[in-house]
A = this chain, B = another copy of it.
Amino acid sequence: MPQFMDVHHGMKGITAEQLREAHKQDLAVEREEGVHFERAWADPESGTVYCLSAAPSADAVRRAHERAGHLTDEVHPVPLSI
């Protein structure tokens, strides 16, 4: 399945617990869109969160995040990886 990297902004001060909770919310709804959220990385200082997912499309990633309450308009396909 294609992979995607999406980026969330405005999460300044996010804690490890909040990141875990947000990821749990994503996992709870991802199947409805055929998405799997694999990894997430966060920078509390700049408020940036990166999520790596496998999904049928960028729109599916957007919809899954939206269902979980984590809107993002920055979803980048990453067909190549190492």
Contact = CB atoms under 8 A, between A and B. Distances in A.
Copies held by the complex:
2
B44 A80 contact: yes
A20 to B, nearest CB: 6
Interface string A1-31: 0010100000000111001100100000000
Interface residues of A, number: 26
Nearest to A46: B76
Interface in A48-62: 48, 50, 52
A71 interface: no
Interface of A: 3, 5, 14-16, 19-20, 23, 39-46, 48, 50, 52, 76-82
